[in-house]
Structure 1
Amino acid sequence: MTVKNELAALLIELDASKAKLDALRPLPPAAVRNLHDELVLRWTYNSNAIEGNTLTLMETKVVLEGITVGGKLLREHFEAINHRDAILYVEEIARREEPFSEWQIRNLHRLILKQIDDENAGTYRKLNVTIAGARHIPPDMLQVPEQMVALLRWYEQSQYDTEAHALHPIERAAKLHLDFVKIHPFIDGNGRTARLLLNLELIKSGFPAIVLPVERRLAYYEALDTACVDGDLAPFVALVAECVKEGFKPYWFMLGMPQ
């Protein structure tokens, strides 16, 4: 099978998994709480670790419980707490079915950099930047506002435009992440914000939020660069789809169902 056919088959499989899970809803409240707590912890740990945070999974857990870890930077503590709060904000947006907006993006970024860099939190960068190790060079700072407007316009039109609307929800979420990263609108915190936006789209579509494991950081960066420079989105969409497949497994385990 070609990569394209393999991806198409995987998306069909994930649609079937979603239908299977939907048929089991509503899930037992205790199961929902357990799954949510585990997801928040793993999502926070991995997303921060990708960006260089040195807290371990268990250290992240105790920080989220309000305990300070000796020998760790204060910034790393804030990164964990802020990311947890940003996840809760994403879930609130989805619960309220709020329309996607630039305001939401800025608010997510404000949460990510709260008490870390309040001056730049929620504010588009006023400097030109490069991404270490990447071939892709983000646009000039003066182009950021107009490119963000274009991103929002694409998103809005995609709800009506035949070609864009034909995107599978997982492809749509991946493309939103990619286009956001390509613009790199903020001076810092773009990766974490992009992964939050990706999961916001997945949650809206009824799929489980994903955890991009830090162990796959190299594949993640390479797929992003391939999409941004070569225009080939398939490797990144495939990576996201594989993570969605992994995202169903905790549900099957909790419910005692074969995976």
Structure 2
Amino acid sequence: MRLTSRLPGREKLQCTLHGETPFAHPWKADHRSARRGQRGSGTPVTLHAAFFEAYFSNFNEGTEFEIGEAEDIIFGGRIHNDRPADAHDIRGTFDIVSSREEMAKTPKKFEELLGLLKQRHALMLGGRSETMPGEFKSKSNRAGVTTFVRPDEVIGTLEKGFEIYSRLDTPFDRAVFMMFMIAVVHPFSDGNGRSARIMMNAELAVANESRIIIPTIYRSNCLEGLSLMSTHGDPDTLIRTLDFGQRYVHSFHWSNLDQTMDVLKKTNAFLRPEEGDRNGIRLRLPRAVDFARDNDENDGGGGASGGVGRPQSDVRPDRLDPERKDG
């Protein structure tokens, strides 16, 4: 994978849509992607990267499992009798993000956007019939004081948003806007955040760029960026947040599950946002020394938090083929 440079002072991306839609504010970026600038290259996405992409995406939406439980579900095919729907959620997400074929699909036409959204939602939430898997919402939804787009305006709003998306010409720009568009429209009754991140990472995967993962400690940063963009038309925080998320993923080797777990802890990925805020701890990029074996003194502090426990399992995902091409 590669990581494309985004340089300050480049031509501004000005895409303005007038009217009463979530995109009424100008969409602008003070640092757009340089098409050919490469910051480096990495290994192809492995099953381990896909595992943590699915794990964090679900954990941040309230589908919380211990790491060991998640391993058993994804790599061992074990469905918990007391939480079958939750288990299906994380397995369904993994099946999508681990499939090179699926993540190579991006919309060229508006109808393809609708089809991809519905198809992926049906795969992800197929274990929850009450969420209408693969169907857009029939009732309005809200989060806190935010009311999302009305059901009868979902398709029209997405169509207007797709016009903006179609004018963007770099993978990162398309990824950021796609994520914002799905998150702010909230086209489904459930699973909107996960759908937004899948669509975002497909834009990066098809261009062979590093994907974006939002670890637990970083969730509030992303929400703040979305809020500032949707309410004040200021995309800078969202762009910086997702840019860091991509650089974070690019900094990992992903080839060894145990090593990856160790470095995630050291960089505080599993810490809950409120605990990080209380103790002044932030997500940080891995350092070379973090990848050294048995280097406990380099723990980033507070990295081992809720959801990290790994009971011993006979399932060893690091024995699986990291170059597997299907989901």
Is TM (by shorter chain) over 0.5?
yes
Structure 2 partner of 1:139? 149
Contact 2:105 2:202 in 1 (8 A): no
Q: 1:205 to 1:8 in 2, by over 3 A?
A: farther
Equivalent residues in 2 for 1:173-212 (5 A)? 173-212=175-214
- Which aligned segments of 4 or more residues in structure 1 are displaced greater than 3 angstroms? 7-12, 67-72, 93-100, 251-254
CA distance in 2 between counterparts of 1:215 and 1:221 reads 12
Moved more, 115-124 or 194-203: 115-124
- The one-letter code sitting in structure 2 at the alignment partner of 1:48 is N
CA distance in 1 between counterparts of 2:125 and 2:65 reads 17
TM-score (norm 1): 0.77
Aligned with residue 92 of structure 1, among 84, 97, 101 = 101
Aligned with residue 41 of structure 2, among 10, 15, 21 = 21
CA distance in 1 between counterparts of 2:81 and 2:134 reads 29
Higher strand share: 2
Moved more, 71-80 or 225-234: 71-80
Equivalent residues in 2 for 1:203-242 (5 A)? 203-242=205-244
Structure 1: gaps spanning 5 or more residues = 159-163
Aligned with residue 111 of structure 1, among 110, 120, 123 = 123
Q: 1:69 to 1:86 in 2, by over 3 A?
A: closer
Equivalent position SS for 1:177: helix
Q: RMSD of the alignment, in Å? A: 3.1
Contact 2:141 2:189 in 1 (8 A): yes
Q: 1:15 to 1:213 in 2, by over 3 A?
A: farther
Structure 2 partner of 1:161? none
Equivalent position SS for 2:62: coil
TM-score (norm 2): 0.62
Equivalent position SS for 2:187: coil
Aligned with residue 77 of structure 1, among 71, 87, 91 = 87
Q: 1:11 to 1:39 in 2, by over 3 A?
A: same
Cα deviation code 1:48-106 (max 9, x no counterpart)? 000001212222111112353768511221111111112145x3145467746221111
Structure 1 partner of 2:279? none
Deviation at 1:119, TM superposition (A): 6.1
Equivalent position SS for 1:60: helix
Indicate the structure (1 or 2) with the bigger Cα radius of gyration.
2
- The one-letter code sitting in structure 2 at the alignment partner of 1:21 is S
CA distance in 1 between counterparts of 2:150 and 2:31 reads 39
Structure 2 partner of 1:36? 46
- The one-letter code sitting in structure 2 at the alignment partner of 1:124 is F
Query: Do residues 149 (structure 1) and 149 (structure 2) align?
Result: no
Equivalent residues in 2 for 1:38-77 (5 A)? 38-68=48-78, 73-77=83-87
Aligned with residue 121 of structure 1, among 133, 158, 162 = 133
CA distance in 2 between counterparts of 1:117 and 1:224 reads 29
CA distance in 1 between counterparts of 2:41 and 2:153 reads 43
Q: 1:171 to 1:71 in 2, by over 3 A?
A: same
Equivalent position SS for 1:178: helix
Structure 2: gaps spanning 5 or more residues = 1-7, 10-28, 257-286, 289-327
Deviation at 1:155, TM superposition (A): 2.7
Contact 2:33 2:173 in 1 (8 A): no
